[in-house]
Structures are given as structure tokens and as C-alpha cells.
Amino acid sequence: MSELNQHIASAFDRDLEGIQAQILKMGGLVEVAISDAAKSLETRDEELAEQVRRGDKAIDAMEEALNEEAARVIALRAPTARDLRVVLAVMRISGNLERIGDLSKNMAKRTGVLAQMSPISGSTAALRRMARDVEMMLKDALDAYIKRDAALAQDVIERDAEVDQMYNTLFREFLTFMLEDPRNITSCMHLHFIAKNIERMGDHVTSISEQVIFMATGRKPDEPRMKGDRTSTDPTLSADIEVE
Amino acid sequence: MSELNQHIASAFDRDLEGIQAQILKMGGLVEVAISDAAKSLETRDEELAEQVRRGDKAIDAMEEALNEEAARVIALRAPTARDLRVVLAVMRISGNLERIGDLSKNMAKRTGVLAQMSPISGSTAALRRMARDVEMMLKDALDAYIKRDAALAQDVIERDAEVDQMYNTLFREFLTFMLEDPRNITSCMHLHFIAKNIERMGDHVTSISEQVIFMATGRKPDEPRMKGDRTSTDPTLSADIEVE
């Protein structure tokens, strides 16, 4: 790169770095939201759940601020098509983070209801493990974003299959609990909901990783995304339980 | 407005009109997706469901194109802070439309599985009515967008409470069916999922309407959004069914 190009690039790059710092701050809040939501569920800590719900407003406000800052940068720097795509990728990442924050909030909302029901053996611990995996994936996706590390981002995408597998296993388990004792039905409905929420968080982390790969390589991952929730399309997965 | 201002405004406005046309086209596809997904479920039409799934790719591509066009307009016109917010609002609307398309696809995905199970009396017809309400809300939200009609947008927001109410009713009904006969559990899990998907579509239409109000009045609706899914937080709603 010529010295002139370096000079031209730097103003835009400095702006991007400012946005990057905001993304990391937002990502940090979202990591805490995932972790606290899952913890509140396992320990039946309604105060912590309330904290997650309140905290989501700050995450929403950060997305708003990030979008406005990104738009300001576009208006100010009139970036090239390539740079424009980078800014759009960052806006998408902030959108994904906001959605993960929302899903954490939704998970925390159910803490109060579930705290009043008999626990389903092992379920909240399993959900917390699943949430921790997603949290680690998010941490690595953000690391990959800072380092423009496509290999790490690809690794995160592959780990999402494990989260999907955990969801499929839990779906079966909840069905079994419900069939064994109808008194488990209501709580299992809520727990299934939470499992699905966490599985969707994994999809959003995957989407962040895809944006990172695009920023690092200029190419979108062309492999079609593995859809891991087989419960929606695999008849055997649910049918073999139904006929028990 | 002075003649000069009109002249200055017009280039940006023409760009916005182009974007508006794309939003309407995208909105039309999303309306069809909602309707076809619900129809495929009720008539057990797996081919129609497959069509919805395939059609979602076109909706995703339109969101991508819209975002790039919006970014191009920002870069080219360097709009004022006020106009910038309008472009950002439009980008959000396209994001909401894309999410509704996704939710329709998710609904259609379950047609195949449910077609292999005994039907739950009246449930797919009720889901289709709920989907139709959301479709009409979306139609009106897009009309309100073209006309910058804040009153119509506000009306759409208020109608979302009815959709939420339909979801709450269905949630109770599915619990009752599951308690009555464990063989209903698997299908009710899927049906509950679909009901929740439609309820979330309503939330996205509400979000579109909020953007419209902002574009029409320059103010965000300051009333906190009514959260209609009381099943996540109202213990009595689920508890009174559990103790039956």
C-alpha cells in the first residue's frame, strides 16, 4: 500500500476503531446478560433476572448509538464500496448483539414463573452449560472480529453445531418428562422455550462470525449454513418419542 | 418551504422513493410468505411450504440490496441528521421485514412434521386466523409508511394486543390438549412454537409502525410497548392450568 493510500485510509480506519470499541463494550454487556440470565434460572434468583431485564435497555441504546455513529461515518467519509460493506457488516453485528440481548432478557423473564414450579431434574444446569457455550462462542467471535481472524470465526461457526445438538437432546428430554408426568408439562413448555432461545443465540453468534469472515477475507462463507434444529423437519426425532 | 429548499430536498427524496418502492415490493413478498405458510399448515400442503422456504432467499436478498442502496444514498447525499434518521428507520423496517420472512419460513418448516401427526382440533385454523391478522396489520403498516400516516400506524400498534391475546388463548389450549392426552404433546409443542412465531411477527409489525410514527412525526412513540405474551411472567396464567 502506498503512503498516500495509507493516509487516505486512516481517517476512516480511526472512525472504524471507535465503532469497534463500542461493539466490544456492547458485546461485553451481552456476554454478561447471557451468563446472568442462565444463572438466575438455575439459582432461581429473581433479583438477578430483573437486573438482566433492566440491563437490556442499555444494550438497545448502544445499538441505536452504534447505528447512528456508523451512518455518521458513512455520511462523513463517503467510503468506497468495499469500505461501505465493512460498515454495514459492523451494523449487522450490532443488530445481532441486540437480538442476543433480547433473547437473554426473554430467558430471564421466565425465571420468576419457573421459580414457582417443581424443578425438572438437571434441566436448568443443562441450559446453563448450553448458555455458557454460546457465551464462549460470542467471546471468540468478538476476538476474531478484533483480530480479523477468519479461522477463529470459522471455528466458532462449527461449534454452533454442538449447541444445536444440545438443543435437540433437550427437546427429546423435555418431551420424555412431559410424557412421564403431565404435571411437568407447563414447566417443560417454558424450559423448551428457553432452550430454543439459547439455540437462536448461537445462530446470531454464527451470523456475527460470518460477518467477521467477510471483513477479514472480503468473501462471504459460501457454505450453506448448517441448520441444527432438526426438530422442526426431522419427523423421526419427534415421531419416535410420540409413539412410545 | 422555499423553492430552493424544495430543490435541495428533491434528490434525496427521489432516492428515498426508490428505496420506498423496494420496501413495498419486499413487504408484498413477506405478506405472501405469512399467508402461504399458514395456509400450508392448515391444508397440509408440503409443496406450498417448500415454496415459502425457497422464497425466503429472495426476501433475504432484498434486505441486502436495500441496505446497500440505503448506504449508497447516505454516502452520496450526506444527509442532515434528521434525514439520516429517516434512512436508518427505513433500514430498520427492511430488517423487520426480513425477520418476519424468517419466521414465516420457520412456520412453513413445521408443516411437514405436523402433516404426519393427528390434527389438534381447530388449532391450524386458529393459527391461520392469527396469521391473517398479522398480515393485515403489516399491510396497514406499509400503507401508513407510504402515506406517513401516524394515526394508522398507531392503530396497527394497538391491534397487536389482539394478536397477543390470541397467542395467550392458544397457549392455554395447547396445555389443556397435552394434559388431556399425552399423545398430543409432540404436536402441541410444534403448534405452540408456531403460535409464538406469529406473535413475534406481530411484534415486528409493531416495530415497523413505530418507525413510521417516527418518520411521520419526528418523535418516537414514548409509551412503553405493551408486552402481550403474559405466559412468560404471569404465574397464574400457567399455574392455574398446572394444578387442574
Instruction: Indicate if the pLDDT at residue A240 is higher than 80.
Output: no
Predicted confidence at residue A47, as pLDDT, reads 97
Interface with chain A: mutation pick from B46, B73, B74, highest number of A CBs within 10 Å: B74
Q: Over the stretch A137-158, which tens digit does the pLDDT of each residue have?
A: 999 999 999 999 999 999 999 9
Taking the CA of residue A174 and the nearest CA in chain B, the distance in Å comes to 10
Predicted confidence at residue B236, as pLDDT, reads 43
Indicate the domain borders of chain A: 3-242
Do the Cβ atoms of B71 and A75 come within 8 Å? no
Q: Over the stretch B205-222, which tens digit does the pLDDT of each residue have?
A: 999 999 999 988 887 775
Is residue A84 within a helix (H) or strand (E), and if so which, with residue range?
A: helix A81-109
Taking the CA of residue A225 and the nearest CA in chain B, the distance in Å comes to 13
Instruction: Indicate if the pLDDT at residue B168 is higher than 70.
Output: yes
* Closest residue to A233, CB basis, from B112, B238, B241: B112
Angle separating helix axes B81-115 and B46-77, nearest 10 degrees: 170
Taking CB atoms and an 8 Å cutoff, what residues of chain B touch A67?
Answer: 88, 91
Average pLDDT in the A111-128 region? 93
User: Position of cell 487516505?
Assistant: A8
Chain A residue whose CA is closest to B113: A235
Taking CB atoms and an 8 Å cutoff, what residues of chain B touch A41?
Answer: none
Please check whether residue A136 touches B, CB under 8 A. no
Predicted confidence at residue B39, as pLDDT, reads 97
CA dist B91 and B211 (Å) reads 10
CATH number of B3-242: 1.20.58.220
Q: Over the stretch A87-118, which tens digit does the pLDDT of each residue have?
A: 888 999 999 999 999 999 999 999 999 999 99
Look over chain B and give the mean of its residue pLDDT values, rounded to a whole number: 88
Predicted confidence at residue A220, as pLDDT, reads 73
Please check whether residue A88 touches B, CB under 8 A. yes
